[in-house]
């Protein structure tokens, strides 16, 4: 398969499409359909009996069918199509002889990622739109409205809201572009630092948004991922090693510290506590220290991860609502300032006319 075709199919083989594949495989395997037969039948369905072989699901199932028929494991066949973590879960399912559960766990991970993306979009898109409206409004008032009013009345005679409106317009005209560039540059630096900034400074920044949101999301998915991998008979050390191999520098620093803690003796909770990063969260670490020494830790960790993820998403949604409310209030304040300023200017014009 050509590299371009491979790249295009990968783009089309996103989370929801992979979920459809896993659900279909899980259903067929549950009903005792052999894996190679299941893949062959699925190709016929997704390609409409060969009429549309270029569809993402058709291409992937056909490729997997050929490789499985040649004696390769399904995990190897899917390695070039799916994220590393999903590949790891499927490989673990092959080792344990329980592929169905592995597919179900892959679905959990995909759903968690979709929930996270939804929460992030809610927290950023609408507030960004409101701030863009504020910027456009300030530019229009400063370059169109205020200069027109200034030609009918001397701005030096303005007072109160009118004077403030004039000073604001002067700032926007002379320094608005520089201020906007500075704010955008600062935001780029902040968001670029999320996956890369490490060390003692980052430990303190992780207590403040947006770094705290980043820690919260990756911490909750970390708990869920580790729980799912352990349930799939992946050892805790192997799970951490696999996750670290694909992690950002920030997350790798925390995973390596936990891996080191496990190496010198201790359970997951103790290892995370000794790492000193308060990752995934100070309270979560305390719970893990209690759970790690109990029977049924695998199920407890998976359930705890799911609950923690839901809690994290709710917190992000609350932050998004606060940001939206703040944006609406800001727009309202600027509108009131403009209305009050224009009213003050009209009063000044009438006073001069008298």
Euclidean distance between the first and final Cα of the chain, in Å?
84
Which of 82, 103, 120 lies at the terminal end of a domain, its last residue? 82
Helix, strand counts (H, E) of the chain:
16, 0
Domain co-membership, 63 together with 103? no
State the Cα–Cα distance between residues 311 and 221, nearest whole angstrom: 12
Burial 60-78 (b: 16+ CB within 10 A, else e): bbbbbbebbeeeebbbebb
Mean pLDDT rounded to a whole number for the chain: 86
Average pLDDT over residues 278-282: 88
pTM over 0.85: no
Which of 82, 110, 142 is the endpoint of a domain?
Answer: 82
For 158, the token pair is: 């303005």
Q: How much is the pLDDT for 190?
A: 94
Task: Tell me the two tokens of residue 239.
Answer: 């799970």
Contacts of 123 (CB under 8 A, 6+ apart): 213, 316, 317, 319, 320, 323
Pairs from 24-33 (Cβ < 8 Å, separation ≥ 24) = 25/99, 25/103, 26/100, 26/103, 26/104, 26/107, 29/99, 29/100, 29/103, 30/100
Instruction: State residue 57's pLDDT score.
Output: 92
Domain that holds residue 284: 83-354
Please determine, for residue 1, whether its predicted confidence score (pLDDT) is greater than 60: no
pLDDT of residue 151: 84
Do both 90 and 75 map to the same domain?
A: no
pLDDT band, residue 354 (cuts 50/70/90): low
Q: Do both 92 and 148 map to the same domain?
A: yes
Of residues 97 and 57, the one with the higher pLDDT is 57
Verify that 216 and 252 share a domain, yes or no: yes
What's the total number of domains in the chain? Answer: 2
């Amino acid at each position: 398969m050509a590299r371009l075709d491979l790249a295009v199919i990968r783009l089309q083989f996103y989370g929801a499409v992979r979920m459809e594949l896993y659900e279909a495989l899980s259903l067929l395997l549950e009903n005792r359909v052999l894996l190679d037969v299941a893949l062959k039948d699925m190709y016929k369905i997704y390609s409409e009996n060969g009429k549309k072989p270029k569809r993402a699901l058709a291409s992937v199932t056909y490729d997997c069918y050929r490789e499985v028929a040649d004696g390769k494991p399904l995990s190897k066949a899917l390695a070039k199509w799916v994220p590393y973590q999903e590949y790891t879960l499927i490989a673990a399912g092959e080792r344990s002889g329980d592929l169905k559960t592995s597919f179900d766990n892959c679905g959990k991970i995909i759903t968690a990622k979709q929930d996270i993306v939804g929460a992030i979009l809610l927290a950023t898109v609408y507030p960004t739109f409101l701030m863009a409206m504020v910027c456009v409004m300030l530019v229009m008032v400063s370059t169109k409205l205020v200069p027109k009013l200034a030609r009918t009345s001397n701005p030096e005679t303005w007072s109160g809201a009118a004077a403030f409106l004039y000073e604001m317009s002067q700032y926007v005209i002379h320094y608005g572009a520089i201020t906007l560039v500075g704010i955008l540059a600062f935001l780029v630096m902040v968001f670029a630092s999320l996956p890369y900034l490490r060390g003692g400074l980052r430990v303190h920044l992780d207590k403040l948004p947006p770094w705290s949101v980043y820690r919260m999301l990756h911490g909750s998915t970390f708990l869920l991922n580790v729980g799912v991998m352990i349930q799939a008979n992946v050892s805790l050390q192997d799970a951490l090693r696999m996750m670290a191999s694909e992690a950002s520098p920030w997350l790798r620093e925390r995973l390596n510290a936990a891996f080191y803690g496990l190496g010198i003796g201790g359970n997951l909770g103790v290892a995370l506590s000794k790492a000193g990063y308060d990752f995934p969260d100070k309270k979560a670490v305390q719970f893990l220290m209690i759970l790690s020494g109990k029977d049924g830790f695998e199920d407890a960790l998976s359930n705890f991860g799911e609950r923690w993820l839901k809690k994290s998403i709710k917190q992000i949604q609350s932050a998004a609502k606060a940001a939206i409310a703040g944006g609406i209030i800001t727009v309202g304040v600027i509108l009131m300032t403009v209305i009050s300023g224009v009213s003050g200017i009209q009063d000044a014009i009438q006073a001069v006319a008298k």
